[in-house]
Amino acid sequence: MFRILSNRSYRHLFAAQVVALVGTGLATVALSLLAYDLAGANASAILGTALAIKMVAYVGIAPVVGAFAHRVPRRTLLVSTDLIRGGVALALPFVTQVWQIYILIFLLQAASAAFTPTFQATIPDLLREGRDYTRALTLSRLAYDLESLFSPVLAAALLTLITYNWLFVGTVFGFLASAALVVSAVLPKPEPVQRGGGPFAKATFGARLFWKAPRLRALLAMNVAVAAAGSMVIVNTVVVVREHLQRGTGEVSLALGAFGAGSMAVALLVPRALERHSDRAVMLTGTFVLFGGLTVITGLLAAGALSWPAVLVIWAVLGAATAAVLTPTGGLIRRSVAHADLPAAFAAQFSLSHAAWLPTYPLAGWLASTAGMTAAAATLTLIGLPAAVTARALWPTDTPPPPPPARRPRSTAGPRSSWHAHQTSRRAPVAAP
């Protein structure tokens, strides 16, 4: 798997992703504790609103970036957004009012909405062979899991020495290091894209790509199940641990770390699983496990039997199921659209997947604060079930395989011959629909 790190440009981009996500993970823990300091047991409501604002930024900005990003050099766009995120993180320790959190979160996530789809669309240009790209998807999933595994553990260790406000400083350094690594990488230019229509047609082009393919329509439903389970973990962990279980700040980090550990373990197994099973089997299994995990949480909360070991186990299971759904997503999109359309498709996935989180974040937070944690968990469970059933119905087993993505001419494909590239692509594992 790690052989692909011999590609210098990909290695630097991957390192940039890792350090930025570690910094983001520190900010996630610090933001939860800041909200708890400002609102106590109502911290879930603040976090739910703040994360809903984050989703508004993602849903509104990512499609525009996907439509017009080809007009801006990739390095300039990636570095600029890293610097913006670093500046916002630097201001977070000085927050004293809830409304200040909301404004800074919008600015931070608006920059992320420009960074992430551009980063995702760059990787297929660097790694043209099917096996290499599958490995890159796994490494990318592992990098995201660092936010929920390594970062909370690091935060727990640091909180024994410093106050949580200093964790935001780690976020700043993460974004600055990410910008430096992007500068040091040689990035390919995106393929020229000529599309008709006005700005609205260009901004919605990626969404229309999703609507044409049954497997991508099913992916939209699976995104809803992921959002339902993820909202329970991200929004309510701090209240479940601090209020329901009466444990300290360190255990908040450990609970989030359990979610990341489960996700990382499954992400490592996904490439081998995709050699034996279809994308459909792996991803739908993860989707139904998410529903099952939410059902167990609801039952334990209703019975008053939720314990610390149960939280660790359920959070790990939810993390594992999340990885089973999300890790194959990039390969699924890559095999479903033409190569030139990948930036628009990744921007659409980024926007549409986060649109699913837009209602679940505030539901998780406000219901937990007003109606109780059991009501919040039950509502998210009721969202997860129809999402899983819909995904299974939309992705029929007899869906024909998509056409292979278009390849660039030999002159831009690197030192290997076009015959060798063709033979390698034939050997690359392509999961059945």
* 57-66 pLDDT per residue, tens: 777 776 676 6
Confidence band, pLDDT 50/70/90 cuts, at residue 160: low
* 316-362 pLDDT per residue, tens: 999 999 999 988 888 888 788 877 777 677 777 877 887 888 888 88
Confidence band, pLDDT 50/70/90 cuts, at residue 398: low
Cα(32)–Cα(44) distance, integer angstroms: 9
Tokens of 91: 């201001």
Among 20, 84, 27, CA closest to 50? 27
Among 174, 202, 183, 212, CA closest to 333? 212
pTM of the model: 0.67
Max CA distance (Å), the chain: 65
Among 180, 177, 316, 204, CA closest to 260? 316
Cα(372)–Cα(368) distance, integer angstroms: 4
Complete domains list, the chain, with CATH: 2-184+201-398+412-427 (1.20.1250.20)
Q: What would the DSSP string read from start to end of 113-178?
A: HHHHHHHHHHHHHH--SHHHHHHHHHHHHHHHHHHHTHHHHHHHHHTTTS-GGGHHHHHHHHHHHH
Are the C-beta atoms of residues 10 and 127 closer than 8 Å to each other? yes
Tokens of 64: 């525009």
